[in-house]
Amino acid sequence: MTDKKYVLALDEGTSSARAILFDKKGEIAAIGQQEFRQIYPQPGWVEHDPLEIWTTQLAVIQEAMKSAKAKPEDIASIGITNQRETVVIWDRKTSRPIHNALVWQDRRTADVCDALKSRGLESMVREKTGLVVDAYFSGTKIAWILDNVEGARERAERGELAAGTIDSWLIWKLTGGVHVTDVSNASRTQLMDIRTCEWDEELMRELRVPRAILPEIKDSSEVYGITHPNVFEGAEIPVASAIGDQQGALFGQACFEPGMVKATYGTGGSLMMNVGEEVKYSDNGLLTTVACRIGGKTQYAVEGLLFTVGSVIQWLRDELQILHNAAESEVSARNVSDTNGVYVVPAFTGLSAPHWDQYARGTIVGITRGANRDHIVRASLESMAYQIRDVITCMEKDTGVKLADLKVDGGAAMNDFVMQFQADMLNVSVLRPKIVDTTARGAAFLAGIAVGFWASRDDLQETFTLDKQFDPQMAREKADTLYSGWTRAVERSKGWAEND
């Protein structure tokens, strides 16, 4: 594969699809990006059109290739990283979805999760999956579609339907019918035992998901199939990796050793620590998950999952319409010296780690007559850093490892105000790499290793190039006082929708 120029990473996020070409040095040669629709049928329900995701993904591939003047024969392999818990069910014969995708943010199965808890299944689910019982994960979403699309459950039992997270959907479309997923995405369905990395009969029975509908579980780095001739003008390119977005960022940040930590500021957020080859459970509301599997060797991670991070900026822009674009948020936040006592808790779809309250809702507290637009914007940005501190505190308790510094990535990591406030809240240095597209980079690295574009992880160790380091500047007493206000505000948001 030495004659090939690029690895193509498909980064299918929550609000946009991207295609990124990486060269041999692990640097970006070209990017294509387009947003796609967010569909809100009811309060708390969030859907995507899987066909729109596919056509958007094709469009950005063409955009990136045109920008780099790349031809299909220049591409060594394709890697996929994706919003992990969003799920699609489609007809195996026609490849047409039977319903819109249910997005990870969707809360329609909260009552199903309550029923599972009432039956005392939380400890079993946690032991087998490393996860909490919550509507966030894919299993109850699959069951909902099967129960609410006429004839779907019967068709699923007969093997006529296929289900999968977005990686499975894209691999199916790229290859013309290969139905697989990788261990990192499978670990987020609440249907796989992370100790064996196999679908679990008890979990499938309790969540009412038939085995016939599920994909085959594969390594995160191996050739799953080749592209169908219709996709790349007759060219056959190996599809050679799939990785959940947060695990992709962990790999892309070269966090290969136990104890290494990264934080991703995307639509949602994730703080993840590599904990090595043994499953380690959290006592403080964090998740245990599969980091990746290469050559049959599984690495695990402890994760603090955050539902709403960068999407708070989208909310300010699209719903409140007090911003024209994301970059304006930093200017607005710097217009004022503080939030004037305002806190924004962006629990739009409930609270995730470490609180796990699916009935919490977004809250603004501390408003006085003097509160203005800039205060609300600043408080919204500060909420990102507060949430990360929540998780870091728990992670340090669980692992006994004191955070030395924090590697960051994701779109909102480009906001210098947020990164400085993050350093102040944690009292450690925040390290932002030159390439913040580390989620896609992780997928590219895994796909490249699978086909020999890169020889091994050793080739990737030196790829972390620092863009900027943010060192703590705020007095600890002030930082702790501000954080104390945040914890009070979070308590006000809890349980709000419980009686809806």
Query: Residue 175's domain is classified under what CATH number?
Result: 3.30.420.40
Q: For residue 235, give every residue at least 6 positions away whose Cβ sits within 8 Å of its Cβ, in sequence order, or none.
A: 72, 73, 75, 227, 229
Task: Give the pLDDT band of residue 256 (cuts 50, 70, 90).
Answer: confident
Q: For residue 379, give every residue at least 6 positions away whose Cβ sits within 8 Å of its Cβ, in sequence order, or none.
A: 339, 342, 343, 344, 364
Give me the half-sphere count of Cα atoms (radius 13 Å) on the Cβ side of residue 181: 29
- What mean pLDDT is predicted for residues 180-205? 97
Task: List the one residue out of 467, 416, 398, 409 whose CA is nearest residue 441.
Answer: 409
In terms of residue numbers, what domain contains 179?
6-246
Task: Give the pLDDT band of residue 361 (cuts 50, 70, 90).
Answer: very high
Output the pLDDT for position 26: 87
Give the number of other Cβ atoms within 10 Å of residue 404's Cβ.
Answer: 10
Strand partners, 273: 261, 302
Amino acid making up residue 172 = W
- What mean pLDDT is predicted for residues 207-218? 96
Give me the half-sphere count of Cα atoms (radius 13 Å) on the Cβ side of residue 105: 26
Mean pLDDT of the residues in the chain: 93
**Is residue 403 included in any domain, yes or no?**
no
- What mean pLDDT is predicted for residues 191-208? 96
3-state secondary structure 115-150: HHHHCCCHHHHHHHHCCCCCCCCHHHHHHHHHHHCC
**Is residue 348 included in any domain, yes or no?**
no
**Is residue 316 included in any domain, yes or no?**
no
**Is residue 124 included in any domain, yes or no?**
yes
Tell me the pairing of strands 47-48 and 101-102: antiparallel
- Please write the tens of the pLDDT for every residue from 456-465: 777 776 666 8
**Is residue 350 included in any domain, yes or no?**
no
User: Which DSSP state fits 348?
Assistant: B
Task: Give the pLDDT band of residue 493 (cuts 50, 70, 90).
Answer: very high
Q: Is residue 220 predicted with pLDDT exceeding 60?
A: yes
**Is residue 255 included in any domain, yes or no?**
no
Task: List the one residue out of 263, 314, 256, 239 whose CA is nearest residue 40.
Answer: 314
Q: Is 41 exposed, middle or buried (0-12, 13-18, 19+ CB in 10 A)?
A: exposed
Tell me the pairing of strands 75-82 and 238-244: parallel
Check: CB of residue 272 under 8 Å from CB of residue 246.
yes
Output the pLDDT for position 464: 66
Output the pLDDT for position 399: 84
- Taking 3-state DSSP, the helix, strand and coil percentages for the chain, each rounded to the nearest 5, stand at 35, 25, 40
How far lies 500's CA from each of 40, 43, 177, 307, 346, in Å? 18, 11, 42, 21, 19
Check: CB of residue 450 under 8 Å from CB of residue 35.
no
Output the pLDDT for position 500: 62
Output the pLDDT for position 128: 96
Task: List the one residue out of 257, 83, 239, 76 whose CA is nearest residue 173.
Answer: 239
Q: How far apart are CA 400 and CA 249, in angstroms?
A: 23
Q: Is residue 59 predicted with pLDDT exceeding 70?
A: yes
Task: List the one residue out of 322, 266, 342, 354 whose CA is nearest residue 14.
Answer: 266
**Token output for 354:** 């470490």
Q: Is residue 1 predicted with pLDDT exceeding 70?
A: no
DSSP H helix total and E strand total for the chain: 15, 23
- What mean pLDDT is predicted for residues 430-450? 90
Number of structural domains, the chain? 1
Pairwise pLDDT comparison (411 vs 386), residue with the higher score: 386
**Token output for 440:** 């896609």
Check: CB of residue 39 under 8 Å from CB of residue 490.
no
**Is residue 332 included in any domain, yes or no?**
no
- Please write the tens of the pLDDT for every residue from 103-160: 998 999 999 999 999 999 999 999 999 998 989 899 999 999 999 999 999 999 999 9
Looking at the chain, the whole-number percentage of residues with pLDDT higher than 90 is 79
How far lies 478's CA from each of 243, 424, 442, in Å? 40, 10, 37
| 3-class state of residue 59 by DSSP | helix
Q: How far apart are CA 299 and CA 279, in angstroms?
A: 9
Task: Give the pLDDT band of residue 2 (cuts 50, 70, 90).
Answer: low
Q: How far apart are CA 50 and CA 419, in angstroms?
A: 34
**Is residue 463 included in any domain, yes or no?**
no
Pairwise pLDDT comparison (275 vs 168), residue with the higher score: 168
User: Which DSSP state fits 48?
Assistant: E
- Please write the tens of the pLDDT for every residue from 270-317: 899 898 898 988 888 889 999 999 999 999 999 998 989 999 999 999
